Amino acid sequence: MQARPGALQVGSFRGVPIRVHFTLLLVLPLLAFSFGAAFQQAASAAEVPPETLGGHPLLWGLGVAVGLFVSVLLHEMAHTLYALRHGGEVHGITLMIVGGVSELAETPKRPRDEALMALVGPLTSLGLAVVLGLMTWLMHGLGAFQWQFACFTLAMLNLVLGLFNLLPAFPMDGGRIVRAALTPRLGVVKATRVAAGLGRVFAVLFGVWGVVSFNPFTLVIAFFVLMGAEAESKQVRMRVALERVKVEAMMTPRVVGVDLDLSMLDAQWALRRERVAALPVTNAGRPVGRVTWAAVQALPEPERGGRMVRDAMEDGVVVALHEDGWTALRRMAEARVPLVAVVDEEGLLAGTLDWNDLQRGMNRAEQEAERDGTRAGWQRERPA
Ligand SMILES: [Zn+2]
Query: How far apart (Å, rounded) are the C-alpha atoms in residues 90 and 81?
Result: 9
Distance between Cα 70 and ligand 1 center (Å) = 13
Nearest Cα neighbor of 100 from 232, 243, 197 is 232
pLDDT at 245: 86
Mean pLDDT of 47-73: 77
Q: Which domains does the chain have, with CATH numbers?
A: 7-243 (no CATH), 247-363 (3.10.580.10)
Instruction: Dump pLDDT digits (tens) for 243-272.
Output: 888 899 899 998 888 998 999 999 999 999
Look at the chain and count its residues: 384
Q: Which residues have C-beta under 5 Å from ligand 1, the single-atom ion?
A: 121, 165, 173
DSSP labels, 10-78: EEEETTEEEEEEHHHHHHHHHHHHHHHHTHHHHHHHTT--GGG--S-HHHHHHHHHHHHHHHHHHHHHH
Distance between Cα 73 and ligand 1 center (Å) = 10
Query: How far apart (Å, rounded) are the C-alpha atoms in residues 117 and 107?
Result: 10
pLDDT at 263: 93
User: Maximum CA pair distance of the chain?
Assistant: 83
Distance between Cα 78 and ligand 1 center (Å) = 8
pLDDT > 70: percent of the chain: 90
pLDDT at 2: 40
Distance between Cα 243 and ligand 1 center (Å) = 26
**What confidence category does residue 379 fall into, taking pLDDT thresholds of 50, 70 and 90?**
very low
Distance between Cα 191 and ligand 1 center (Å) = 19
**What confidence category does residue 90 fall into, taking pLDDT thresholds of 50, 70 and 90?**
confident
Distance between Cα 159 and ligand 1 center (Å) = 13
Mean pLDDT of all residues in the chain?
A: 82
Mean pLDDT of 123-129: 94
CA–centroid distance for 305 within its chain: 44
Instruction: Dump pLDDT digits (tens) for 163-174.
Output: 988 988 888 888
